[in-house]
Structure 1
Amino acid sequence: MIAAAILLAALPVILAGAQLFTNAIEHVGAAFGVSEGVTGSLLAAIGTALPETAVPCLASLAPGAGERLAVGAILGAPLLLSTLTLGVMGAAAWQSRGLSAVLTPERAGLNRDLDWFLGLYMLALGGLFLPSGPWRQVWAMVLVAGYAGYVTVTLRASRALVAAGHETAVPARLYLARLGFGRFPGVRSIQLLLGLAGIVAGAQGFVTGIERLGPRLGVSVLVLALVIVPIATELPEKINSALWVRRRRDTLAFGNISGALVFQGSLLPALGLTLTPWRPSALLLATMLVTIAGAGMLRLRLRRAVAIRPYHMLANGLLYAAFLGYLLVA
């Protein structure tokens, strides 16, 4: 009962934090003069990915179960993003715009994000088979350099998009400005930090509640890290994408997810290569292959120039359900 109460209390905190964050990040992107793709893929994605990055960082410092928790958290986050999170966003679009509505993200930026993610994540998959030693550190440095290259290319593309009139728009005033705090210096940053703090606090409540439920359900440490921890830390923060897609800000919605995929598909595996055993197993290989399949499904639709509709995104959610089925029989 206590665990359920914690989970219920955390939900409104996350929702309020997500509202503050999405509103503020649009104003920050507009202030920097960047495109909506950069606002979603870099500013929003990195901002919401930082809290769950702390989980594998801290867990990797503890041997044994801590290392398994770190590996599970590293691989569970991109799995969730490429499957269930896209499914939730599709459900939000279905509810607000209809099942056959056409979603209109900026395709060039989304293609770029997915290409970088798939390339870097496949390198991370190959890293599972490297022997212990300096090659792992070299491989990790390649992944870090890859993310740096992605950021550079994304910022360069932003300048062209802004020149073409695709800068970040701000259709709504800052919430703090509506409350009379608009003249305070740094009000955008204050609201951004308040929103992020609310998301983190609510996510921590989810973690606490789920950790208490885990032993009662008889869940192993690795499965807990692959499934429950990302649901608690990643999914609540990606409510931002559901909010944006309901407001027809599709570029921001998709960029928030695809940018986080690149971040967590490169920098976190680099951490795994450096601080954990990072060895192949049937479960880890299945996790990474399902993740690649989820991102690949979206990339294939873009390549074929098919209109993206909510039911396409729901198919990614079904892929996550299939993975859960695999866990039950494995």
Structure 2
Amino acid sequence: MTLLHPLFSRILAIHAIILALSFAIILAGSEFFTNGVEWAGHRLHVAEAAVGSLFAAVGTALPETFIPAVALLTGRDSAAAHTAVGLGAIVGAPLMLSTVAMCVMGVAALVFRKRRGRIALKVVREDARRDIAFFFPVFLCLVIAGTVEMGAVLRHVLAVALLIVYASYAVVMLRLKRAAGTQLVHGLYFESILRGNPLEPRASATAAQVIVGVLAILIGSVEFVDQIVVFSAYAHLNPGVLSLLLSPLATELPEKYNSVVWIRQGKDHLALANITGAMVFQSCIPVALGLAFSPWHLTSPELLAGSIALASAAILYLNVRDSKLGTPALMIGAAAYAIFLIGLWRLGAF
């Protein structure tokens, strides 16, 4: 054992370096994507609410959609384990968004209070409540559906229904009008790199930056999850619980970081829309994959996660009473996630 110890430590150090690099790739990709998608929305004259809730939310939700898709569509030799990983990632994403992501926004508001000249977030009440009103009933029905036996036909019907629901949401968002006089003060990064005019970016440069940002987020998130799994192999958690805890931690980083970037810039409405829009996406598209390619039987930890996500969303809806969202309302997310961890412990999950 003493001979293997230095080698073992060296291997762990290598994995730690790869983990840190993958995290850095996610953050860099999110910075490029956030900046690029803002300019894409500006060029297309899309309302800022749609930029945050639709464009940014869908783009940054790709990692957490990619991971359960791979888990559910591969691994025929260990189908049960892959299904558990897929369902854990699907249910864990809304939980992470409605709890930890909200807390991160609250912390960002405190950290950048001098730069912003305020602490409370200035948000658009109608936009936030619209997203939550889409998310809550859909996710509630799907959590309940995870407790009953469903045949393949019914599951596929529900999957198609979810696609229709999200398409309807997208239509509603794209019909919103962009506020007159909306200007962007941060130029396009790619144009600065290419020595063009960052405040009048070309369509090709904008598209290239968005694509590079998405690819960086995807590559970084997948590698981040892989490295966390290596570190957590000694925790003796079942695959579903491991995925429920770790997959969302990595794959929701883009939403969290994008929101921090926008809060730093004083664009609080975009920061919140990025999170709530991702919640709508997570309640439809990944769940449709789960319904289509798994029995959709939710275990006790997954039902606990779904219940807390719904409770947190309801609390957020009640707190968005006007155009301000205070830090205490956001910090409730940390308490909700702590309750989730305590619940897992009481269930004997770890």
Q: TM-score, length-normalised on structure 2? A: 0.87
Aligned-partner Cα distance in 1 for 2:219–2:302: 29
Q: Which residue of 1 aligns with 2:277?
A: 259
Distance change (3 Å), C-alpha of 1:238 and 1:141: same
Q: Which residue of 1 aligns with 2:168?
A: 149
Aligned-partner Cα distance in 1 for 2:307–2:326: 24
Residue 154 (structure 1) shift: 1.6
Residue 308 (structure 1) shift: 0.9
Q: Does 1:139 align with 2:155?
A: no
Q: Does 1:93 align with 2:105?
A: no
**Aligned match of 1:206 in 224, 227, 231?**
224
Residue 85 (structure 1) shift: 1.0
Q: Which residue of 2 aligns with 1:11?
A: 23
SS at match of 1:39: helix
State how 1:39-50 maps to structure 2 within 5 Å.
39-50=51-62
**Aligned match of 2:129 in 111, 123, 130?**
111
**Aligned match of 2:186 in 154, 172, 182?**
172
Aligned-partner residue type, residue 291 of structure 1: A
1:92–1:246 CA contact under 8 A, matched in 2: yes
Question: What is the RMSD computed on CA atoms of the aligned residues?
Answer: 2.0
Q: Does 1:67 align with 2:83?
A: yes
Residue 306 (structure 1) shift: 7.7
**Aligned match of 1:310 in 323, 327, 347?**
327
Give the unaligned 5+ runs of structure 1: none
Residue 10 (structure 1) shift: 2.0
Residue 241 (structure 1) shift: 0.7
1:171-218, Cα deviation, whole Å (9 max, x unpaired): 111112122343766000111112222222222231121010121222
1:27-64, Cα deviation, whole Å (9 max, x unpaired): 01101101111000010000111122111111112311
2:62–2:218 CA contact under 8 A, matched in 1: no
Residue 123 (structure 1) shift: 2.1
**Aligned match of 1:300 in 294, 318, 324?**
318
Aligned-partner Cα distance in 2 for 1:73–1:46: 16
State how 1:192-203 maps to structure 2 within 5 Å.
192-203=210-221
Give the unaligned 5+ runs of structure 2: 1-11
Aligned-partner residue type, residue 312 of structure 1: A
Residue 166 (structure 1) shift: 7.3
Residues 272-281 or 252-261, more deviating: 272-281
Aligned-partner Cα distance in 2 for 1:327–1:235: 22
Q: Which residue of 1 aligns with 2:8?
A: none
1:60–1:66 CA contact under 8 A, matched in 2: yes
**Aligned match of 1:285 in 299, 303, 308?**
303
Larger Rg: 2
Residues 313-322 or 70-79, more deviating: 313-322
Aligned-partner residue type, residue 146 of structure 1: V
Aligned-partner residue type, residue 65 of structure 1: A
Aligned-partner residue type, residue 150 of structure 2: P
Please identify runs of 4+ aligned residues in structure 1 that moved more than 4 A.
Answer: none
1:69–1:225 CA contact under 8 A, matched in 2: yes
- The alignment covers a number of residue pairs equal to 324
